[in-house]
Amino acid sequence: INIYGKSKWMVEQMGQSISQTHGMHFAALRYFNAAGADLEGEIGESHDPETHLIPLLIQTALKKRPHFTLFGSDHETPDGTPIRDFIHVTDLAEAHVKALEWMRENNKNLTLNLGTGKGHSVKEVIRAVEKELGSSIPVVEGERLKEDPPLLVANPEKAFELLNWKPKHSDLPTIIQTAKQWLKKR
């Protein structure tokens, strides 16, 4: 587990402690890779500098960056690149609402993994962005990131069951198109 994962775990532990001490309830909703933008193109995120895979690839495909740096292709995965579970922000928003409703009805804490349960490799995402935008992406290989795990895919079954929720917008084409629509406005 990397430092980011440890920090998230520590916050969950603090939530448990506050719950036990003060009788407050909390939800620990563990996102995997939040991606995409509002389906109507009104809300999105913007980072400076950008560090997220899909926006970086879209910017490169739109010629706003000279190339995309692939940090390692020697992972123990079928194509050598990390595999991640991408979940659309609209699906995450719906899960939040359903989690709050569940907590109100059950008066309990809630810890859930929010993802699709399906992973896509970095190379798969590169090909998907190229296909959706009709543009090739120049790729430069960089050094593998030390703490980059080869596989991060959610087990969302508990969320599916308790919340009666499943992602509806988390296919790569929808994620890419909504992110592109938002990024083109920037």
CB atoms within 10 A of CB 31: 15
Q: Quickly list H helices, the chain.
A: 3-22, 53-61, 89-106, 122-133, 157-163, 172-185
Tell me whether residue 31 is one of the annotated catalytic residues: no
Compute CA distances 59 → 69, 75, 98, 122, whole Å. Answer: 12, 25, 33, 16
Catalytic residue among 1, 2, 4, 7: 4
What is the secondary structure of 43-85 as a DSSP string?
-----SS---HHHHHHHHHTTSSS-EEEE-S-SSSTTSS-EE-
Catalytic residue positions, numbered: 4
